[in-house]
Chains A and B, each alone.
Chain A
Amino acid sequence: MILRALVSVVRVATSTDHKVIGLLYGFTSLTFLLIGFLLVLLIRWQHAFAGQPLPLVGGLLGENAPGGIMLPEFYNQLGAMHGTIMVFLGVVPLAVGAFGNYVLPLQVGAPDMAFPRLNLLSYWLYLAGGLVMLVSFFMPGGAASSGWTSYAPLAVIAQDGQTYWLAGMLLVILSSLLGAMNFITTTVQLRAPGLTWLRLPFFVWAQLITAFLLLLAFPALQAAAILQGMDRLVETSFFMPSGLVVGGQIVERAGGGSALLWQHLFWFLAHPEVYVLVLPALGIIAEIIANNTRKPLWGYRLMVYSLFVLGFLSFIVWAHHMFLTGMGTTISAFFQATTMIISIPSVVILSALILSLHGGSIRFNTPMLFALAFLPMFGIGGLTGLPLGLATTDIPLHDTNYVIAHFHYLVAPGTIFALFAGIYYWYPKITGRLMHEGLGLVHFFGSLVCMNLIFMPMFAQGLAGVNRRLWDAGAIYTHAQETLYLNVPMAWAAIALAVFQIPFIVNLFASLRLGRPAGDNPWEATTLEWATPTPPLAHGNFARPPRAYRPPYEYSVPGAPADYTPQGEEGA
């Protein structure tokens, strides 16, 4: 019995089938999302009730929280690792590793990814990187504590956890690079006959551009991590300026390094990374909106071209994260200009999605509700970013809770809602059963309300000037006093948000057995993944080689026998 379980675990863990690997990515990244979320619950408690013992878990934290009261050092670890885990081990692997792996080959009509074994290697590198990060919590000195941005020289002189962070990051980067290669090759080479470029579903386009961003941006952080590793391990001075004084002592180094070099390399990755977080989400939302409005996307071509512009521009906006470093006005003006310009394609895509709703006969199922909520949430996140893209307004807002609120609106009720939508939408294709609508509604409305209760007050705090990284949430500052009380409802909202994830988790597992049988195409969708048997065949996905005859979203075509005409159905 145990042996048989072991054999099946090994079989799953060594399968080169893109669907199995996609599911492995899915479960691993959902686990990381949960871990990252639990870390931030501790932070929210700390902000609301600084200096009070943590209930329930306080005793489990050992020397990190004597008497259940969190130490500032541990708080720093929580902040750094929440960001790292959410971005690099949670959202991106779920959006790209899981959805990309499972859905993209199906949507292009491929039997598998172009390099199945490399695909498996990507997963294992990702898992290894994630485990290295987690293990660092249990090492002497704890996990990395220099923020998810790991700015030098702070990170260079930090505890050993930072070395684990660098090692884990190098593994995750390698995994992403191999994955990006694989996605691009699959899309370019394995498209089914008839599936011309402008017949690709928008999701595929989004994944393709995302893969290019990963491929060309991640190496900068790879280089930066190598350099910081050298600084930490063999005492080079790449990021260590001359005459650095730490704790009253001059640091004994050759010096002459540039702390800002780290920031440039880091943000050269991390700004495109923002679009890596966002584009797959837009892809998922586009699929779901087209399907549930029963009409083609409004401005499909415009959306695709916007993706190109967005992808390219994302490489030349990075220094808007660095307005406070005192760069000259000319170069600052350049980055402000590119930052304003990049909002245009983002707005084009979002507007196209909203216009797609117009005149549709909308079906309000759970995936569509998440998709509909995504639009205004993403809009709030995007529009509040504009003041951060202009140096004058960025200077007072920099590193305040306003920034936190801004990008969390993009990523939490934005991207993560899109990922939930995707899970509800493709679950029947994966399992053959639909998820429960009632539980889905509870999950949706609960999450929507809680997310806003958590993040909206942060704008107020940020505008009041409250710094984002404070252990006591700013209690020692006069200017923070008026908004301090907001931390209490935010903490309760965060706990409620956790509670509202329970129906989702129950739904995810219970629907495997109890869900309504879905058939092959429960949403009456057009794209090729719904032309497979359910679940898609283990070897080769499709019962017969697919072929595309038309654009991806042929819904409600006048004169057609049904209100949807699948891409793979023969005919003119």
Chain B
Amino acid sequence: MTRDTAGGVRAYLVVFGALLALTVATVGAASLHMASARAVTVGLAIACVKASLVALYFMHLRHERALVPAMLALTGVIFAGLIALTLASEAGHMPGTRFAPAFDVTEEAR
């Protein structure tokens, strides 16, 4: 309860500054028109750093004991399973069984 001393407030302001800087960075990176795979990587990486800063400092996650981080990690793993397995199922469709013609178009283009 005594964590929020003047030093704590200074840390919040530093984090706030970092978040603003990263916002500028992500807009700047987008204006470079990188190849889409690289742009996605950079954009999501910056977003992950920003999100971690918010979670660790503003939401005080770094002060939490194991229970909450473990639960969030479990949530992360399950979310990763959802997106990875859904995409893998859809990407692996046997020819002729796709509902959206869009899939066939990209397949043939490759």
Direct contact, A vs B (beta carbon within 8 Å): yes
Chain A interface (Cβ < 8 Å from any Cβ of B):
188, 212, 216, 220, 241-243, 255-261, 264, 268, 315-316, 318-319, 322, 325-331, 334-335
Residues of B within 8 A of A327 (CB): 89-90, 92-94
- Tell whether, in the assembled complex, residue A316 and residue B101 are in contact, meaning their CB atoms are under 8 Å apart: no
- Tell whether, in the assembled complex, residue A328 and residue B93 are in contact, meaning their CB atoms are under 8 Å apart: yes
Q: Which residue on chain A has the smallest CB distance to residue B94?
A: A326
- Against A, the Cβ 8 Å flags (1 = close, 0 = not) of B76-109 are 0010011001101111111011111110000000
Number of B interface residues in the complex (CB < 8 A): 22
Q: Say yes or no: is B52 at the interface (Cβ < 8 Å to chain A).
A: no
Q: Which residue on chain A has the smallest CB distance to residue B75?
A: A216
Contact of A331 among B88, B99, B102 (CB under 8 A): B88
Residues of B within 8 A of A316 (CB): 81, 85
- Tell whether, in the assembled complex, residue B101 and residue A241 are in contact, meaning their CB atoms are under 8 Å apart: yes
Q: Could you give 5 example pairs across A and B, Cβ below 8 Å? A: A264-B90, A327-B90, A327-B93, A328-B89, A330-B88
Q: Which residue on chain B has the smallest CB distance to residue A237?
A: B100
Q: Which residue on chain A has the smallest CB distance to residue B100?
A: A241
Q: Say yes or no: is B32 at the interface (Cβ < 8 Å to chain A).
A: no
- Tell whether, in the assembled complex, residue A264 and residue B67 are in contact, meaning their CB atoms are under 8 Å apart: no
Contact of B99 among A216, A220, A258, A319 (CB under 8 A): A258
Residues of A within 8 A of B100 (CB): 241-242, 255-258
- Tell whether, in the assembled complex, residue A315 and residue B99 are in contact, meaning their CB atoms are under 8 Å apart: no
- Tell whether, in the assembled complex, residue A331 and residue B97 are in contact, meaning their CB atoms are under 8 Å apart: no
Residues of A within 8 A of B67 (CB): 188
- Tell whether, in the assembled complex, residue A326 and residue B101 are in contact, meaning their CB atoms are under 8 Å apart: no
- Tell whether, in the assembled complex, residue A260 and residue B82 are in contact, meaning their CB atoms are under 8 Å apart: no
Chain B interface (Cβ < 8 Å from any Cβ of A):
67, 74-75, 78, 81-82, 85-86, 88-94, 96-102
Tell me the complex Cα distance, A329–B91, Å.
11
- Tell whether, in the assembled complex, residue A315 and residue B81 are in contact, meaning their CB atoms are under 8 Å apart: yes
Residues of A within 8 A of B92 (CB): 327-331
A-side interface mostly:
helix
Q: Write the nearest CB–CB distance from A272 to chain B, whole angstroms.
A: 10
- Tell whether, in the assembled complex, residue A260 and residue B99 are in contact, meaning their CB atoms are under 8 Å apart: yes
Residues of B within 8 A of A268 (CB): 82, 86
Q: Which residue on chain A has the smallest CB distance to residue B97?
A: A326
Tell me the complex Cα distance, A329–B94, Å.
8
- Tell whether, in the assembled complex, residue B78 and residue A325 are in contact, meaning their CB atoms are under 8 Å apart: no
Residues of B within 8 A of A220 (CB): 82
Tell me the complex Cα distance, A260–B98, Å.
9
- Tell whether, in the assembled complex, residue B102 and residue A242 are in contact, meaning their CB atoms are under 8 Å apart: yes
Q: Which residue on chain A has the smallest CB distance to residue B79?
A: A216
Tell me the complex Cα distance, A260–B88, Å.
13
Q: Which residue on chain A has the smallest CB distance to residue B92?
A: A328
Tell me the complex Cα distance, A220–B78, Å.
11
- Tell whether, in the assembled complex, residue A322 and residue B89 are in contact, meaning their CB atoms are under 8 Å apart: yes
With most chain A CB atoms within 10 A of its CB, the pick from B78, B93, B96 is B78
Kindly list 5 other residue pairs between chains A and B, CB separation below 8 angstroms, not including A212-B74, A216-B78, A241-B101. Answer: A241-B99, A243-B101, A260-B90, A261-B90, A316-B81
Tell me the complex Cα distance, A255–B98, Å.
14
Tell me the complex Cα distance, A304–B101, Å.
47
